[in-house]
Amino acid sequence: MPQFLRKLKSDSLADKAADMIRSAIFEGHIKPEERLTIEHIAAQLGISRTPVREALKALETDGMIKILPNRGAVVQRFGRPELADRFTVRATLEGLAGELACRNDGKRVAGLLAANTEKLADRMAEIEPEDLHAVSELVELNGEFHDTILAASQSETVLRMHASLRMPMAYRLYTWRSVDRQRASYDFHRRIVDAFRQDDAGEVRRLLESHILEARDFVVAEH
């Protein structure tokens, strides 16, 4: 396994180790079904095995990995039912986040989202679906769009629950390699921006829920 984790030296080592491993999975450094060993991770982080063991248990609770007796752990490859459930719950959370964000400061959020959507359109027009590095830029812009709404919701509960449902980069790259999916997402983003501009919190919620559920149907059908 390549070196992608940095050494930890402060308190709350188990929590910080879990955060770093989770990020490595999200960013695609650790692939679905790849085996993780406590010894290797502890060596990369520069900590003992105990906090790593605790970190892996926390990630198993989140559904990110599966611990194998006496063999470390593997990154979960989600089955269709799990994928469907994750997207469905995420749709509810993001719909709520959008409604709250619109009520909190809809005009400001609309400006931020509009700028993001313009960047997305520009990059979509420039890249080829086979260029995974470029597609990853679309994934990042999409993440910024949704993260802006989540942050503007000002709901710690929504943020905490949503964080446990994020999909690894491999799944997000697969979705965004489809030109049709790129266009569908862009269209949803554009309509969401319009709803924010009109201070229509109910429409923001409806569009976000529909956006996530449409992505769910695509991923589950192609899985």
Same domain, 100 and 181: yes
Average pLDDT of the segment spanning 144-153: 98
**4 lies in some domain:** no
Q: Does residue 21 surpass a pLDDT of 60?
A: yes
Q: Is residue 2 part of a domain?
A: no
Reported as a single tens digit per residue, the pLDDT across 189-216 is 999 999 999 999 999 999 999 999 999 9
Task: Locate 83 and state its tokens.
Answer: 């994928």
pLDDT of residue 70: 77
In a domain, 24, yes or no: yes
Q: Which domain-ending residue is among 46, 75, 104?
A: 75
How far apart CA 120 and CA 141 sit, in angstroms, is 6
Q: What are phi and psi of 22, to 5 degrees?
A: -60, -45
- Asked if the structure places residue 65 within a domain, the reply is yes
Q: What's the count of helices (H) and strands (E) in the chain, helices before strands?
A: 9, 3
Q: Helix, strand or coil for residue 143?
A: helix
Does one domain contain both 70 and 178?
no
Q: Do 105 and 148 form a contact (C-beta atoms < 8 A)?
A: no
Mean of pLDDT values over 67-88: 86
State which of 23, 48, 75 marks the end of a domain. 75
In the chain, which ranges are E strands?
Answer: 35-36, 65-68, 72-75
Structural domain that includes position 203: 80-222
Residue 217: predicted pLDDT: 93
pLDDT at residue 222, as a whole number: 77
> Does residue 5 form part of some domain?
no
* One domain, residues 128 and 68: no
Tell me the one-letter amino acid at 127: I
If asked whether residues 167 and 71 sit together in one domain, one would say no
pLDDT digits (tens, 9 = 90+) for 121-147: 999 999 887 777 788 899 999 999 999
Q: How many structural domains comprise the chain?
A: 2
Q: Are 132 and 172 contacting, i.e. CB atoms less than 8 angstroms apart?
A: no
Dihedrals φ, ψ of 97, to 5°?
-60, -40
Residues 33, 140, single domain; the answer is no
Q: Is 182 a residue whose pLDDT tops 90? A: yes
Going by pLDDT thresholds of 50, 70 and 90, the confidence category of residue 33 is: confident
Confidence band, pLDDT 50/70/90 cuts, at residue 77: confident
The pLDDT assigned to 210 comes to: 98
pLDDT at residue 9 greater than cutoff 70: no
Average pLDDT, the chain: 88
The lowest-confidence range among 10-19, 135-144, 151-160 is 10-19
Do 108 and 182 have their domain in common? Answer: yes
Contacts 24+ apart (CB under 8 A), 122-127: 124/182, 124/183, 124/186
Q: What is the mean pLDDT of residues 145-165?
A: 96
Looking at residue 46, which CATH number applies to its domain?
1.10.10.10
Q: Does residue 108 carry a pLDDT above 90? A: yes
Q: Which one has a higher pLDDT value, 223 or 115?
A: 115
